[in-house]
Amino acid sequence: MPSTYTSNGGIEKIGLGEKAGAWGTTTNNNFDIIDRLTNGVGAITLSGTTHTLTTSDGSLSDGMFKVLVLGGSPSGTNTITISPNDADKLYFVQNGTSQTATFTQGSGANASVSAGEAAIIFADGAGSGAAVTDLSALLPLKSGVAGSFTTVTASTSLLPDSSGGADIGSTSLEWGDIYIADDKKIKFGSDQDISMEYDEDGTDSLLISGGDVTIADDKKLFFGTDKDVSIEYDEDGNNTMLVTGDVVFADGSTSVDIKSHDLSANGLKLDGTLVTASAAEINKLDGVTATTTELNYTDGVSSNIQTQLNTKHDAVGQGLQEDDATTVAMKNSWMSTSSAIFSISGTSFTNSRSYPVFIVGRSNAGGGSFSFTVTNGGGGSGTVAQQDGDSGTNDPFSFILPVGGSISGSSFTGTGIELRPA
């Protein structure tokens, strides 16, 4: 009866009548195979992108090692085929290369060990449909255990080996989303001086408690899905707080108090120009109903209007009076001392001067009647008939002629004076 071999380890089962004279050699070889299967650590050198891990019947081979230490310089992900595909295998794998090692046996599932990581893998030996399973991914995480895990469930806490001694993620391997339940805090500092939480049982808002929050120079705090509004300390510009976007103060008991408004250097500015009026001065506009046109009536006024009016009023009790008997009088200086005085004679006179004139005169004709025609220079006229009472004297007359006005009649003589205002 010929020898046969174990299905998984390739150990020779010596048949009756076989190995005459070589029993001891074969038995020792089998013991070496058993030792490799149970405790053997094999260095597997990888290159390229494929490798075959073979278990050969009756002879020591790489596929018999219990522990596989992968080395070499594979050019990419290296696919390691476990042969034969009908052998059950359990391997402890340490991937010391810079590439992922993927173990396969048939058309079933494969198991991958990332660069620098370790795993326990199981090949089910199911022939052409054989599958490889990463058993370590099914084990709960223990202290000091490294490797790749799909899901880690912690019953109490995840703790570093020392205070501040472990990071979550790295500069090249960042974590994805972090989910924190309502009213649970992220705490900062060795004494947990500052915390951050979603305050669901209070304000329904993100709550930062316990200390200050600092935003670096020229970094923005954005608001809105499209970042329509931002706040930043503009250190590389104007060294000021810069708000970009519209700002609306809500209705209600809201005030904006600018304590530094000193009317000279600091306070409220509009487009860079300091408002130098005080609140009391600005409040004087409260209740003003005048239009822009009405306010512009004061344009050009250089001193107190009332003082100017008082200057023009001579309260000596002379002149015109209003209904309430208040005296409205002309000052003696109402007419310029430079007003021209001139003589007139002849039968007509027209005021061609720049001011109205006051005319005092007499007729040169004696006896009978005497008439004057007076015009205002604008088309209006009138006739004044004077009767000589004694048939032997000249008759007097007086008129105020506007510019362009005239008098005409018989021969007359008189004196005129310009009514030129001071």
Token pair 């009548």: residue = 17
Q: Verify that 19 and 127 share a domain, yes or no.
A: yes
Examine residue 199 and state whether it is found in any structural domain, yes or no.
yes
Residue 248 has pLDDT above 80, yes or no: yes
Q: Three-state DSSP class for 347?
A: strand
Q: How confident is the model at residue 69 (pLDDT cuts 50, 70, 90)?
A: very high
Query: What's the mean per-residue pLDDT of the chain?
Result: 84
Residue 202 belongs to what domain range?
A: 183-213
The reported pLDDT for the residue numbered 381 is 87
The reported pLDDT for the residue numbered 386 is 72
* Residue ending a domain, choose from 230, 246, 262: 246
Range with lowest mean pLDDT among 54-68, 89-103, 132-146: 132-146
Examine residue 66 and state whether it is found in any structural domain, yes or no.
yes
Range with lowest mean pLDDT among 16-20, 79-83, 86-90: 16-20
The reported pLDDT for the residue numbered 324 is 53
Q: Verify that 198 and 230 share a domain, yes or no.
A: no
Give the CA angle between residues 103, 108, 111 to the nearest 5°.
30
Examine residue 335 and state whether it is found in any structural domain, yes or no.
no
Examine residue 397 and state whether it is found in any structural domain, yes or no.
yes
Q: Verify that 105 and 197 share a domain, yes or no.
A: no
Range with lowest mean pLDDT among 41-45, 79-83, 170-174: 170-174
Give CA–CA dist 28/12, Å, rounded.
Answer: 11
State the SS3 of 233-270: EECCCCCEEEEECCCCCCCCCCCCCCCCCCCCCCCCEE
Q: Verify that 36 and 115 share a domain, yes or no.
A: yes
Q: Verify that 190 and 235 share a domain, yes or no.
A: no
Q: Verify that 15 and 129 share a domain, yes or no.
A: yes
Higher model confidence: residue 340 or residue 368? 340
Examine residue 167 and state whether it is found in any structural domain, yes or no.
no
DSSP state of 14: P
Residue 100 has pLDDT above 90, yes or no: yes
Q: Verify that 8 and 132 share a domain, yes or no.
A: yes
The reported pLDDT for the residue numbered 101 is 97
pLDDT digits (tens, 9 = 90+) for 290-346: 999 988 988 888 888 888 776 665 444 444 444 455 555 666 777 888 899 999 998
| Structural domains counted in the chain | 4
Q: Verify that 29 and 129 share a domain, yes or no.
A: yes
Per-residue exposure over 240-250, b if at least 16 CB sit within 10 Å of its own CB, e if not: eeeeeeeeeee
Nearest C-alpha neighbor of 90 from the set 127, 149, 38, 45: 38
Q: Verify that 345 and 368 share a domain, yes or no.
A: yes
How many alpha carbons lie under 13 Å from residue 186 in its C-beta half-sphere?
Answer: 9
Residue 129 has pLDDT above 70, yes or no: yes
Examine residue 292 and state whether it is found in any structural domain, yes or no.
no
CB 66 within 8 A of CB 36: yes
How many other C-beta atoms can be found within 10 angstroms of the C-beta atom of residue 270? Answer: 7
Residue 367 has pLDDT above 80, yes or no: no
CATH value at residue 371: 2.60.120
Q: Verify that 117 and 11 share a domain, yes or no.
A: yes
- State which of 22-26, 70-74, 393-397 shows the largest mean pLDDT: 70-74
Q: Verify that 240 and 365 share a domain, yes or no.
A: no
pLDDT digits (tens, 9 = 90+) for 108-122: 999 999 999 999 999
The pTM score is 0.40
The reported pLDDT for the residue numbered 122 is 96
Q: Verify that 127 and 10 share a domain, yes or no.
A: yes
Which tokens go with 390? 């004694």
pLDDT digits (tens, 9 = 90+) for 30-53: 888 888 888 889 999 999 999 999
